[in-house]
A and B are shown apart, each in its own frame.
Chain A
Amino acid sequence: MKRPLYHYFMIGAVVLYLFVPILATLIYSFATQWHKTILPEGLTLGWYRDLFGDVRFLEALGRSLLLSFSATALGLVVMVPTIFSIVLYAPKLEKFIQMLIVMTYAMPGVIIAVGLIRAYSGSRIPMILVTVGAYFVGILPYMYQGTRNSLRNIHAESLMEAAEMLGASRFTAFSKVIIPNILSGIIVSSLLSFSILFGEFVLVNLLAGGHFETIQTYLYQKLNTSGHIASAIVVCYFLLICVLSTIIVRVTRSKKGGGGR
């Protein structure tokens, strides 16, 4: 197909806009000195060495992973069976779930944080558990979408009926037939949720503040002390997002292609 030049220009402009800040950060994280010159004065791996030598960073990384992982796992264990049950056996409740999702859109991090502080600060529930709970609510839209679509794709209702006709209980049918078939779909939703939570700053900063330093709050501290180390953190963060996205794309592709296992 013949394409006018301006289509290339349009895409080029968007890609450039999105790419340049990432590239600059990448270069900055390898630069020895870069204050007065246009190109960095020298290249070094020193900032990464410093970063990974910093116990505080490693701890923050560990906390971030733990926090995002527990919230995602909780979402997986609780939401998938719930959404399954509602879609198949209580379709009237689906409207309610959709209302909850609209509510999460109308209540971004800052708002929900105010409410959570109001409700739980000073209570016996540790704020870090409250953060996990808030994350659980936050990933509902992604888990719902992913689970719902997977269930629709495999015609879950007739699979359940077939399994029941063959003598399986509902629980057996769910675990032996439904779960293996929606696995790739819910893995994608989980990875998506995980990567969103991993980049979350507002809730964990407002709720747990200085008591629970994650990679995002650590980065915020470093912004004002060392730009080079901060950019090294950003690069690491972006790399992790890249890895997660690659896995998501792979899993989605293999599902679409329907190739062998």
Chain B
Amino acid sequence: MSYVTIENINKSFNDQQVLHNLNLAFEEGEFVTLLGPSGCGKSTLLRILAGLTTPEAGIIKIDGKDVTNVKPKDRKVGMVFQSYALFPNMTVEENIAFGLKMQKMNKEVIAKKVSRMIELVELKGKEKAYPRELSGGQQQRVALARSLVTEPKVLLLDEPLSALDAQIRKNLQKLLRSLQQELNMTTVLVTHDQEEAMAVSDRIYILNAGHIAQEGKPHDIYTRPANEFVARFIGNYNVLTKKQISLLIKDESQFTHDLYAVRPEAFGSEFIMDGYKISGKVQNIMPLGNITRYEIVSGGVAVTVEHLHKSYEKLQENELKTLYINKEDVIPLT
């Protein structure tokens, strides 16, 4: 049996059902991400797991214990909020010690645990600082430490990094992942950023309008999107109808599904045995740093193509180009 199970959860707000009979299961020490666009119900699900929101129906079990009717404070679950929610009247140290004080722990033990945690999140020297004296990234590290120090059974992260700059976000993702592995902490992350989800998770649940759209390892989800929603949400997949792909590849007999997805970087200039070939005009060239993105127009259909930027290869607008693609990279959608 899994470490955390969520069974048949339903939730409505004002007669609007936001979660439809959801079933999820997380293993001990696993890093799971709930990924989806805003309004898909991922935060609500996380808050239900935390006990901050009550579901209409369903059962939540943590470590074999039914906690559906347990108050948030007694669930042994830690949570990090998007807004950090640090206590402005307390120093870094006091913020981190708060949860331990609530457990009426011995002062010396608290001090020891707090200082170890401060080291782990790389905030040494900031013990006596107040939250407002810290940068956003530092504040979020305090929030993380504050949750981890109580050694919760599950750590919940509600869009913890989305208010931060790109660079700081990357650094914190690394820290988050390494801390999680070091402490073998069962972690559930909610985010709308698919790159972040790919970077840190063991497993991803993609949510759409209160349903699970797909579940799997990051690599599988990225290379094998199960449906149109996932294909469009993950990366910049080209989603083509049967008619469009037939016009593009000129091989009608092959395509029996209604929709197909093709990753922009799956196209290459080198000949592929037993692959598909497309020829067309280059348009809308966009140099995006390390990659170049452009469109190939063939038979009136445009597909987005991306490849690594190479200085010796100069593309021209309207130049004719031939590209090749593996057959398995043209993914039928259900």
Contact residues in A for B83 (Cβ distance below 8 Å): 155, 158
In the complex, B146 has a CB within 8 A of chain A: yes
Q: State how many angstroms separate the Cβ of A219 from the closest Cβ of chain B.
A: 42
B85 adjacent to A168 (CB under 8 Å): no
Contact residues in B for A42 (Cβ distance below 8 Å): none
B102 adjacent to A165 (CB under 8 Å): no
Q: State how many angstroms separate the Cβ of A168 from the closest Cβ of chain B.
A: 5
Q: State how many angstroms separate the Cβ of B190 from the closest Cβ of chain A.
A: 14
| Contacts A168-B73, A168-B102; A161 near B132 (Cβ below 8 A) | no
Within 8 A of A (CB), among B69-87: 71-74, 77-79, 81, 83, 85-87
Residue in B72, B88, B130 whose beta carbon sits within 8 Å of that of A165 in the complex = B72
Contact residues in A for B50 (Cβ distance below 8 Å): 161, 165
Residue in A162, A163, A165, A180 whose beta carbon sits within 8 Å of that of B77 in the complex = A165
In the complex, A167 has a CB within 8 A of chain B: yes
How far, in angstroms, from A177 to B94 measured CA to CA in the complex?
Answer: 11
Measured CB to CB, the nearest residue on chain A to B75 is A165
Within 8 A of B (CB), among A168-204: 168-169, 172, 176-177, 180-181
In the complex, B283 has a CB within 8 A of chain A: no
Within 8 A of A (CB), among B84-102: 85-89, 98-99, 102
| Contacts A167-B103, A177-B87, A181-B87; A161 near B81 (Cβ below 8 A) | yes
Contact residues in B for A176 (Cβ distance below 8 Å): 98
Q: State how many angstroms separate the Cβ of A156 from the closest Cβ of chain B.
A: 10
Measured CB to CB, the nearest residue on chain A to B104 is A167
Residue in B74, B78, B88, B98 whose beta carbon sits within 8 Å of that of A163 in the complex = B98
In the complex, A53 has a CB within 8 A of chain B: no
List the count of A-B residue pairs having beta carbons below 8 Å apart.
64
| Contacts A165-B79, A169-B73; A158 near B85 (Cβ below 8 A) | yes
In the complex, A164 has a CB within 8 A of chain B: yes
Q: State how many angstroms separate the Cβ of A158 from the closest Cβ of chain B.
A: 4
B92-121 contact mask (Cβ, 8 Å, vs A): 1 or 0: 000000110011000000000000000000
Count residues of A near B (Cβ-Cβ below 8 Å). Answer: 21
Within 8 A of A (CB), among B39-78: 50, 52, 71-74, 77-78
In the complex, A258 has a CB within 8 A of chain B: yes
Measured CB to CB, the nearest residue on chain B to A165 is B79
Contact residues in B for A261 (Cβ distance below 8 Å): 130
Measured CB to CB, the nearest residue on chain B to A179 is B89
In the complex, B150 has a CB within 8 A of chain A: yes
Residue in A161, A169, A172 whose beta carbon sits within 8 Å of that of B85 in the complex = A161
Measured CB to CB, the nearest residue on chain A to B133 is A260
Residue in A158, A161, A172, A181 whose beta carbon sits within 8 Å of that of B89 in the complex = A181
How far, in angstroms, from A158 to B84 measured CA to CA in the complex?
Answer: 9
A165 adjacent to B87 (CB under 8 Å): no
Most chain B beta carbons < 10 A, residue from A166, A177, A261: A166
Residue in A154, A161, A166 whose beta carbon sits within 8 Å of that of B102 in the complex = A166
In the complex, B147 has a CB within 8 A of chain A: yes
In the complex, A114 has a CB within 8 A of chain B: no
In the complex, A159 has a CB within 8 A of chain B: yes
How far, in angstroms, from A155 to B83 measured CA to CA in the complex?
Answer: 9
How far, in angstroms, from A163 to B72 measured CA to CA in the complex?
Answer: 10
Measured CB to CB, the nearest residue on chain B to A158 is B85
B240-277 contact mask (Cβ, 8 Å, vs A): 1 or 0: 00000000000000000000000000000000000000
How far, in angstroms, from A165 to B47 measured CA to CA in the complex?
Answer: 11
Contact residues in A for B52 (Cβ distance below 8 Å): 161, 164-165
Q: State how many angstroms separate the Cβ of B20 from the closest Cβ of chain A.
A: 25
B81 adjacent to A166 (CB under 8 Å): no
Most chain A beta carbons < 10 A, residue from B52, B85, B99: B85
How far, in angstroms, from A181 to B78 measured CA to CA in the complex?
Answer: 23
B102 adjacent to A167 (CB under 8 Å): yes
Contact residues in A for B130 (Cβ distance below 8 Å): 260-261
How far, in angstroms, from A169 to B99 measured CA to CA in the complex?
Answer: 11
Contact residues in B for A166 (Cβ distance below 8 Å): 73, 78, 98-99, 102, 146-147, 150
- Residue pairs across A and B with Cβ atoms less than 8 A apart, 30 shown, are A155-B83, A155-B85, A158-B81, A161-B50, A161-B81, A161-B85, A162-B79, A162-B86, A162-B87, A163-B87, A163-B98, A164-B52, A164-B72, A165-B50, A165-B52, A165-B73, A165-B77, A165-B78, A166-B78, A166-B98, A166-B147, A167-B73, A167-B150, A168-B102, A172-B102, A177-B87, A177-B89, A180-B89, A181-B87, A181-B89
Given contacts A158-B83, A159-B87, A162-B85, 9 further A-B contacts (CB under 8 A): A155-B85, A158-B85, A162-B81, A163-B98, A164-B72, A165-B73, A166-B102, A181-B89, A260-B130
Binding site for A on B (CB under 8 A): 50, 52, 71-74, 77-79, 81, 83, 85-89, 98-99, 102-103, 130, 132, 143, 146-147, 150
Which 5 pairs from chain A and chain B are nearest by CB? A166-B99, A162-B85, A167-B102, A180-B89, A158-B85
